Structure 1
Amino acid sequence: MESNRQYLTKRALLYGTFLSVCWGPVAAQQYARANHVPAQHVRTGILLEQVLKEIASRINKKLVYDARQLEGKQAHTARTGLPPERLLAEVLSETGLTYRIEGDLLVVFPGDVADGASSNPVIHQQMTVQGRVTSGEGEPLAGVSVSVKGVATTVSTGINGQYTIAAPEDATLVFSLIGYVRQEVPLSGRAQLDVVLQEDNQALSEVVVTALGIKREEKALGYGVSVVKGEDLTDAISNNWSDALKGKVAGLNLTQTGSGPLNATRINLRGDRSLDIAGNEALVVIDGIPMINGRVSSGVDQAYGAGASGVDKDIPIDFGNGLSDINPDDIESVTVLKGAAASALYGSRAANGALIITTKSGRKREGGIGITINSNTSIQDVLRWPDWQYEYGQGNNNRNADGDLYYSYQLSEDGANTGSTSSAFGPKFDGQYYFQYDPTVEGQSAERQLWQPYTDNIKGFWRTGLNLTNSVALDGATDRFSARASLTHTKNEWIMPNTGFERIVASLNSSAHLSEKLQVNAKMSYTSKSSDNLPGTGYNNQSIGYFMIFQNPNVDLEWYRPTWKQGREQLEQIHPFSSYIENPYLIAYEMTNGLKSNTVEGNLQGIYTFDDRWSLMVRSGLNMRQDKRDNRRPYNTANFPQGYYKEQDVYFFESNTDMLLTYQNKITPAIDLRASLGANAMRYESKTNNAIARGLLLPGIYKLSNALEQALADNDLQRRRTNSVYGFVNFSYRDLVFLDITGRNDWSSTLPNGNNSYFYPSVSSSYILSDIFSLPEAVSFAKARLSWAMVGNDTYPYRTAKYYSKTSFPGSAEAPSVLHNADLKPEISRSWEAGVNVALFNNRINTDVNLYAITTENQVLSVPLDITTGYSSAFINAGEIRNKGIEVMLSGSPVKNDLFSWTATATWSTNDNKILSLSDDVEGEEQIIATSGTATLLATVGGSIGDIWGYGLVRNSDGQVVFNGTTGLALQPSDITKIGNAYADWKAGLVNEFQYKNWRLSATVDGQYGGILYSQSHHKMTEQGKLRHTLLGRETMTVIGEGVVMNDDGSYSPNTMPVPIQTWYADYYRRANIETNSFDASYLKLREVRLEYNLPVSVVSRWRLAGASIAVYGRDLAMISDFPIFDPETASLNGATIVPGVEMGQLPTPRTWGVNLRLQF
């Protein structure tokens, strides 16, 4: 364990030292050279557009221009070694064009943009005018030209869209920016004038980050992408920033266990493509480098574990995953690549799509270095509670000699003990007095006490959570160097007592043009995360969810305080009603699950531009993470009577080295070409070391040296390598038609020789219909796209040869129970996608529609074998899965004017999954995907991944439930059947944003329709009479089931047979009856709300600020759902695998209210 930590530390220090040595002298040198363009020779006879792109690239600017104004124009000869102003002036001479440099932009525009400027303006009374220019979405616009009409006076807006200009009282101000509609606004004596610029229907196509970090115009892409801007991720900040993607991306499905503050997320795009439920997650890429986002089991592989025995009788712990450690304030944008054509260049790892995260970099600012301080303070409470009943108390229908229900804690003169049951079928709360528990004597009360409910005896356990997140970022840039550094601290106190975490994230992102040809980029981040306690999840004694199920209405929560009996501290807990149900405060304060985690992620990239056609990119990145975990279980617990202690060390390491050679040229006046050839080498390693003390010599001392017997140790090591070569060609014909062709070949170490090499190509095309055809005037823009791709996927290590594994006992090993397969082949997915994007009425309405179909074959399955073979199962290639679906995005601006704007974006998606075939070796053409409790995700030919199977109800041909005419109980089927599917029929989201002057209000609503969720909590609380729906039949103490009985002649008649109430609920809602304990998983949530006020320029300028805003926000504020427990957005955690469609001892969902303050200097 220690060697792993030393290795991690050495790697981090080496990487940090390297960056420091490289960048220390570079920063000073680049600052001195910032005002000069490197020596170069601009040739005659080449296109002006190409020359301007080259100059913009070399001075680290983004070129903004109207392509129609440059069409056919050639560059003039320019001398070498000139400052940027002189060089650009010579290049643009005699073209009628001029330029302006604003921040990161090099803007080229017609020279008459000042429109009627006069050198002899009429003199009027002058005044100072201030204001702010924003986009229709409320974002500040930098680089807007603000001029006085008819006067040569011109200024530009700063980074926050602010400006100050001197103008006559009756002047007209002109606001212009390439890509936006120019506005002329009469001043009319106003000293404050804020303006909203609307996008021009001729605006340039949006630039998006695609595979390998390559930036491209969206109009050129032959596949659908979704882009979420960084500011949209921080409107209502969450412990896991990926929550902010919900409702904003069509086709994206996020599944979470709802099991604590870290709340690991399963990211799925366009449905499950593999029968391995853990093999359907999208790749996450940060600045071109894949990140480690996996989960490692805490050692328990089942969420259902009540009464389990052996080493694995503990419960799963959600220690989170790498995704939640990213600081959302560092994110510039998230590009979601959903199709295989979009992500094919990442190889087999992106077979399920990819999330491309681009982090923020330094920007050129007025006044040098910019400072941003961002502070969030939020509180959390519980969104919704189950509908418990508090009308009847503890009991098992116990009656006294007079036939009346009674209660007695322990034996008393009133009767036998009824206080040890977990059921609530006792007397009604009606002013009676019984012998009850007395906490002062830790036993039976001396006198009868009032029989009353304690309606806060579950809710009162939970507290108001608190989350504090503070960050500071410094950034700046010169013409040749840029850098951004940030530090973020998060302190979380979750809604469950004594749980939460602390996290520190430090990051550095820098870029430098070391010469006229060489650009070097470096990025590094470090995350330190710790927690004294994270809650356990699942249905087991150690989970607080288990306690909530078993708590009775007549039990005061305060009776569990203090945790230990007086004089028996650390030896005997207070749990007066059952030795099987743990004290909730013992669970919270003694059964702790600690975590100390360190993550280092970074990359170093060099780009060498040989000339205006050839360039070479070389990049190396690493991702390292180490978790040190511990589980503590005290004496006198149901599963660990003599205590328990476990240490777990988890270590991940991954490195990726890329090379990409690129050629680009205008091969004819009409055709542009970009071609690249690249290679990648990936190295991955994970280690898990476990050490377990199955009993403690001395209570309360959690050390391996305190083990009752010799501590057990085991470990797991996995290594894998993938070498790849890839290439792509992009063609553009007059910016009207675009064609992309890609190919990649992977060599995977997890597959056997002969099958470890697999090639996959893709083809995609885009057609700008609005430029090709003459469309109605209402159509501002129209594009059609089509793509086809094939991608391979390998398997887990060590499946192709026979390996022996260590056991928990020293010096021993065991033979594998699964037969290896030396002929395994890669999974292959083939997909096609077609889409259309149409903008109407000057971009006031925008529609984007995708249709796709994906077929995956050669699934790697584990099939059962006859035990006489010496193996229980074997790996084979078999099975074919098909996904097809539709994704729709509709956005619009119903209202847009100078004072008020309203924008709305709606998303909708549906996916149809079908299993086309399984192996002939699979008995009955069935394959178990996952089990949790008695619910089984079962794959069958013709069915779907996510189908939930189990026992249900026997029904006649009319769908009526059939009961036993003698007992009155529902008939039980002999075979399991399909009950439903875990996945929704469709998902949708709606984002509204309203902007009025300096105020902004945004709200996100999202939901889903269809799907089912099996609830273990509902089964148990119904069986015990804890939920309100079990009040049915309390007065008569019997229930008559709604349905029919079969007559002797085969006909049916209504059921009239009463059943004792406790028997009824225990049988009809038994654990094995998946049908009666499964519910519609549809929901509608008010996901996010934010009300923000940006302080006016006149205010912030007095405080010497560049900008300031204050906002209040909320997350998960309201929900509509028929699900009877906490939240249908849940899943069970089986070890490291998130199993959808199953709820096991769910914890409450937090509702968040917060305040955000942002200051910019």
Structure 2
Amino acid sequence: MSESKGIRDKGKDFSTLLITTQQIITGTISDSNGVLPGVTVAIKDTNINAITDETGKFSIAAKTDDVLVFSYIGYKTLEVTVTNSNVINVTLQEDATTLKEVTVNAGYYTVKDKERTGSISKITSKDIEKQPVTNVLSTMQGRMAGVSITQTSGVPGGGFDLKIRGQNSLRAEGNSPLYLIDGVPYSSESVGNSRTTSVMPTLANPLNSINPLDIESIEVLKDADATAIYGSRGANGVVLITTKKGKQGKTRYTMSVSQGVANATQFMKLLNTEQYLAMRNEAFANDGFAPSFMDFDVNGTWDPNRYTDWQKELVGGTATYKDANASVSGGSAQTQFMVSGTFHDETTVFPGDFGYKRGVLRSNLNHASENQKFRLSLSTAYTVQDNDQPAVDLSRTAMLLAPNAPALYNDDGSLNWEGSTWENPLAALAGKYRTKTYDVIANGTIGYVLLPGVELKSAFGITDTKHDETRTTPSTIYDPVYGAGPEFSSLIVNTVNRRSWIAEPQLSWAQQWRYGKTELLAGGTFQQQKGTRLVQQGNGFVSNSLIYNLASAFSVNTLQDQQTDYKYQAFFGRFNYSYQDKYILNLTGRRDGSSRFGPGNQFATFGAVGAAWLFGEEMFIKDKSILSFGKLRGSYGTTGNDLIGDYQFLDTFLSSGVSYNGVIVLEPTRLNNPNFGWETNKKLELALEAGFFKDRIFLTLGWYNNRSSSQLVGIPMPATTGFPSLQGNLNATVQNRGTEITLRTVNFQNGNFSWTTNFNISFSKNKLLSFPDLATSTYRNQFVIGEALNIQKVYRYTGLDPQTGVFTFEDMNGDGVLSGLDRQVVKDFNPSFFGGLSNQFTYGRWALDVMFQFVKQDNYTAAAMTGVPGTMGNQPTAVLQHWQAPGDTAGFQVYTAGYNGDAVDAYFNYYESDALIGDASFVRLKNVALTYKVPERWLFGASCKVTLEGQNLLTFTSYEGRDPEFTTYGYLPPLKVFTAGLQFSF
């Protein structure tokens, strides 16, 4: 009895000792930018662990002398020994050397970066949030190898030109990538119309509806292994946009505000009044004529002592940026949520009250059962855009207007028409370009684990876009002396409705074997998109105040009335096998069906094979050299392309509006082609990935060779058919071959200071390999076999005639006449190489990011933006170096006021010569972001970040035009932006 009691007493003593030594440890984990949710806190050599909540807090039961291990992907692992204190706060240091462990979104599946067999580039919210931009595509510029992005307008809501590894299709519209927002396809086709968007050189980009601050990550899939699972939709690459989601932890509230200004990056160097008038007078003297009564700038009508810098006056204003964001998120281990709202308000650099507003309301909900077998996610986003811009861009006027042109306003504040001697440029601002766009994107995923490793799930999504676009031309744009009443006013209306739905059931299986693992995925895609477009024009209104009411127009014409119905279905599969985590094989395939092709051609099969060898894991290398990671990967496969529009293979008709015997006549617009089929893109890639010194230096070298054939173009037809062309597959082949290099280095990482560098550069060459009967086709002046698609055939400039002072050009065919047949010099406008260099510095609570973008390319020179030197209109200062006397051989040709026909003809030939195309290479300070994290103790535990950001700050170039990257004549280039902001979290 006493022995039993002794055992109980010993057990009681042990229990008492355990209770006295074990305690609840709490604390907060953060980095230099703020608290870190999702950090794993584990007791070393045990299975006991906890995870920090949304506020970075954790709680775990531990004993004195236990070792807590704090680990988080992308950060250095930290170990802390438990003492008598029950509060442990730690700060983790970023560790760029572990980034290969990051999971990459490949669309239908995820894969660790080190195990992927395909080419995927990624940026995260850390890169995106530091850029004061309104379109998500801006955040990708210069940050991804092989991804070329050019902003085509500085006007809010403007367009972008994006090419992933070059131009595959002869048709410009056939090169758009596939955009997926949380798995839902979002049409790359713009809702704008060329008749209404005259203020922009290209149609507005559809991704304007997405707020960059809502994005968690962007992945770009480039090679066949990564894109083949998307079949025809991935022919030109895939852009995967993943929005932010709620995370486990206490409810977290975040609010941020920012405000900034924007200006034109630079102006052209134009003649002042003295130089301009000297040019004009010399031109009349050369021609032997006196100024006419219409030459108001030099005949004494306009003040010869007046000077106005019209670039500053018309496009030199200051645009303002305002952003406000708020979100609430949190949830339990089973259910997480997030609701966010954002508002953006942006004005323009044009005179007047113009602006762009965007509001976004987004929500998501994620749920998993306690046994983790059932999973559900729902996301919704509603976006409203309101864009109010002038109907015309004043950039070209600002360059051409004479520097001594009259004042804009009279003394009473009314517009000055200076006795009808000029068209006051501000009058054009009475015309308006307005758009209102409403976007709904919703998606859901539901899944259930049937057996260990076997999951059945299905994804659903819808999009609904409504777009109303108008452009007005009121009679008030005309000089009042002409007496133009509202009957001369006009309105163009573009109304678009587009709806789509998608359903994608999927079944996946994963099995870990003794020496490897296998993953299988099978699924299907069912998608439909319906759209309507109505474009109408009203002419003559009772009053300008009724100009937006078509019922008040004297006449209304329907310019376009279109209904489309696109159906798409596919079945896809993936097989992945990894042996010893060193040898990886990935097979993907897809059977596509598209309604855009005729019977018998609607279905096609695409697939790819990818393989990787992680040679750094081989025993003869591992832990025995400076090499810490090594991988060779390659892929080959085919994808298709159906970006040709709807009904292109059918006979189509359009109402002519002409009545015959009381019946409206139908006009044929397209011929049927039953052989209309898929474009095919074959892709080959080889790549090396290597890490050195524990991945402090990480290098990726990639080489690709893509060939696109069966080009969908308009095949020229004889004039006797009544049609210029027949839509069909041309046996032409386009090749894109290039090399991509990315380098990440951890230059310094110790204590409170770290410095990392990311560099990427892409060398690419686009070439037309074959084109049957090109010399006799209507494309003979557009393409050249062996050259790139984005070319111009121009005259060869041979210099100035020293006797006449007129430009001369080579007669290439020797027939003694300069004609279009002599435009044989080919100038390639594709960049030879492009890339970016970014550096991230952190010191304590400070963080500085500096990013440079660079491009090696040719472009039209500043002279292409103006007219014939000597005629009415300003010129670049470069024309001051010109021919003045026999024997001169350098500079511009002789000035002419327009009476010297030889000089005028020569200058128009000059426009179409290689002399007007020069080096437009540049290095641009694309982005600078400075962040300071305010100590939490100052704000009673709340988190606050202060940010200063700049975009397009400096450009280093020998180019003398407005912007070397901007290739669109007469429109506003992208702006220079500065913003300051505050972000609070609690």
Instruction: State the TM bucket, normalised to the shorter chain.
Output: 0.7 to 0.9
Q: Is the 8 A contact 2:118 2:224 kept in 1?
A: no
Give the Å deviation of 1:644. 1.1
2:134 is aligned with 1:239: yes
Q: Is the 8 A contact 1:173 1:187 kept in 2?
A: yes
2:780 is aligned with 1:780: no
Partner of 1:834: 686
* Aligned counterparts of 2:382 and 2:859: Cα–Cα separation in 1: 40
1:798-947 equivalences in 2 (<5 Å): 798-807=647-656, 812-878=664-730, 879-920=732-773, 922-924=774-776, 927=779, 938-947=782-791
**1:1029-1066 deviation line (CA, Å, top 9, x unaligned):** 355268x96686537xxxxxxxxxxx999776876985
Deviates more, 1:648-657 or 1:963-972: 963-972
Partner of 2:971: 1146
* Aligned counterparts of 2:70 and 2:754: Cα–Cα separation in 1: 19
Aligned counterpart in structure 2 of residue 322 of structure 1, from 203, 206, 210: 206
**1:43-70 deviation line (CA, Å, top 9, x unaligned):** xxxxxxxxxxxxxxxxxxxxxxxxxxxx
2:346 is aligned with 1:508: no
More strand by share: 2
CA RMSD of aligned residues (A): 4.0
Q: Percent identity?
A: 20
Partner of 2:166: 271
- Runs (5+) with no aligned partner, structure 1: 1-116, 123-127, 304-313, 409-414, 427-433, 438-448, 537-541, 566-572, 929-935, 956-960, 1044-1054, 1132-1142
**Does the C-alpha gap of structure 1 residues 575 and 861 become closer, same or farther in structure 2, counting only changes over 3 Å?**
farther
Give the Å deviation of 1:989. 0.3
1:442-841 equivalences in 2 (<5 Å): 451-455=305-309, 458-459=312-313, 462-497=316-351, 498-513=353-368, 516=371, 517-531=373-387, 533-536=388-391, 542-559=392-409, 574=417, 578=421, 581=423, 583-588=424-429, 590-635=430-475, 637=477, 642-666=488-512, 668-702=513-547, 703-712=549-558, 714-775=560-621, 776-794=624-642, 795-807=644-656, 812-841=664-693
* Aligned counterparts of 2:38 and 2:26: Cα–Cα separation in 1: 17
How many residues are paired up? 935
Letter of the structure 2 residue corresponding to residue 1159 of structure 1: F
* Aligned counterparts of 2:509 and 2:286: Cα–Cα separation in 1: 91
Give the Å deviation of 1:146. 9.6
Give the Å deviation of 1:597. 0.8
* Aligned counterparts of 1:451 and 1:1082: Cα–Cα separation in 2: 38
Give secondary structure in 2 for the equivalent of 1:1119. Answer: strand
2:915 is aligned with 1:1076: yes
Give the Å deviation of 1:1068. 5.2
Letter of the structure 2 residue corresponding to residue 587 of structure 1: A
**1:216-271 deviation line (CA, Å, top 9, x unaligned):** 21222111211101121110221212211111100001122115111212221000
Letter of the structure 2 residue corresponding to residue 326 of structure 1: I
* Aligned counterparts of 2:395 and 2:671: Cα–Cα separation in 1: 38
* Aligned counterparts of 2:835 and 2:408: Cα–Cα separation in 1: 44
* Aligned counterparts of 2:570 and 2:543: Cα–Cα separation in 1: 55
Give the Å deviation of 1:699. 4.0
Partner of 2:14: none
Give the Å deviation of 1:1093. 0.4
Give the Å deviation of 1:676. 1.7
2:879 is aligned with 1:983: no
**Does the C-alpha gap of structure 1 residues 1021 and 292 become closer, same or farther in structure 2, counting only changes over 3 Å?**
farther
1:179-194 equivalences in 2 (<5 Å): 181-183=76-78
* Aligned counterparts of 1:807 and 1:605: Cα–Cα separation in 2: 47
**1:163-197 deviation line (CA, Å, top 9, x unaligned):** 89999xxx999763266554568999x99986443
Q: Is the 8 A contact 1:512 1:520 kept in 2?
A: yes
Letter of the structure 1 residue corresponding to residue 417 of structure 2: I
Partner of 1:335: 219
- Compute the TM-score of the two structures, normalised by the length of structure 1: 0.74
* Aligned counterparts of 1:436 and 1:406: Cα–Cα separation in 2: 21
**1:1076-1121 deviation line (CA, Å, top 9, x unaligned):** 3333231111011011101123223x2x41x211011101111122
Letter of the structure 2 residue corresponding to residue 963 of structure 1: D
Give secondary structure in 2 for the equivalent of 1:1042. Answer: coil
Partner of 2:851: 1004
**Does the C-alpha gap of structure 1 residues 132 and 803 become closer, same or farther in structure 2, counting only changes over 3 Å?**
same
Give the Å deviation of 1:359. 1.2
Deviates more, 1:177-186 or 1:699-708: 177-186
Give the Å deviation of 1:587. 2.2
Give the Å deviation of 1:615. 1.5
Give the Å deviation of 1:990. 0.6
Letter of the structure 2 residue corresponding to residue 624 of structure 1: D
Aligned counterpart in structure 2 of residue 177 of structure 1, from 71, 75, 79: 71
**1:886-931 deviation line (CA, Å, top 9, x unaligned):** 11110011110112100110011111111111123x4446727xxx
Deviates more, 1:1069-1078 or 1:1001-1010: 1069-1078
Deviates more, 1:639-648 or 1:1122-1131: 639-648
**Does the C-alpha gap of structure 1 residues 621 and 991 become closer, same or farther in structure 2, counting only changes over 3 Å?**
same
* Aligned counterparts of 1:453 and 1:834: Cα–Cα separation in 2: 60
Q: Is the 8 A contact 2:831 2:855 kept in 1?
A: yes
Letter of the structure 1 residue corresponding to residue 193 of structure 2: S
Deviates more, 1:353-362 or 1:640-649: 640-649
Letter of the structure 1 residue corresponding to residue 975 of structure 2: P
* Aligned counterparts of 1:809 and 1:1023: Cα–Cα separation in 2: 48
Give secondary structure in 1 for the equivalent of 2:207. Answer: helix
* Aligned counterparts of 1:118 and 1:845: Cα–Cα separation in 2: 47
Partner of 1:375: 257
**Does the C-alpha gap of structure 1 residues 146 and 120 become closer, same or farther in structure 2, counting only changes over 3 Å?**
same
Letter of the structure 2 residue corresponding to residue 585 of structure 1: L
Give the Å deviation of 1:1154. 0.5
Give secondary structure in 2 for the equivalent of 1:1122. Answer: coil
**Does the C-alpha gap of structure 1 residues 602 and 1057 become closer, same or farther in structure 2, counting only changes over 3 Å?**
closer
Give the Å deviation of 1:872. 1.3
2:234 is aligned with 1:350: yes
* Aligned counterparts of 1:316 and 1:120: Cα–Cα separation in 2: 74
* Aligned counterparts of 1:193 and 1:493: Cα–Cα separation in 2: 45
- Runs (5+) with no aligned partner, structure 2: 1-16, 811-817
Partner of 2:102: 206
**Does the C-alpha gap of structure 1 residues 1126 and 812 become closer, same or farther in structure 2, counting only changes over 3 Å?**
farther
Give secondary structure in 1 for the equivalent of 2:783. Answer: strand
**Does the C-alpha gap of structure 1 residues 405 and 701 become closer, same or farther in structure 2, counting only changes over 3 Å?**
farther
- Compute the TM-score of the two structures, normalised by the length of structure 2: 0.86
Give secondary structure in 2 for the equivalent of 1:348. Answer: helix
Give the Å deviation of 1:1157. 0.8
* Aligned counterparts of 2:319 and 2:39: Cα–Cα separation in 1: 43
1:72-221 equivalences in 2 (<5 Å): 133-134=30-31, 140=36, 142-143=38-39, 145=41, 159=54, 176-177=70-71, 181-183=76-78, 195-197=91-93, 199=95, 205-212=101-108, 214-221=109-116
* Aligned counterparts of 2:233 and 2:653: Cα–Cα separation in 1: 27
Give the Å deviation of 1:141. 6.8
Give secondary structure in 2 for the equivalent of 1:708. Answer: strand
* Aligned counterparts of 1:700 and 1:835: Cα–Cα separation in 2: 63
Aligned counterpart in structure 2 of residue 1157 of structure 1, from 975, 978, 982: 982
Give secondary structure in 2 for the equivalent of 1:834. Answer: strand
**Does the C-alpha gap of structure 1 residues 696 and 578 become closer, same or farther in structure 2, counting only changes over 3 Å?**
farther
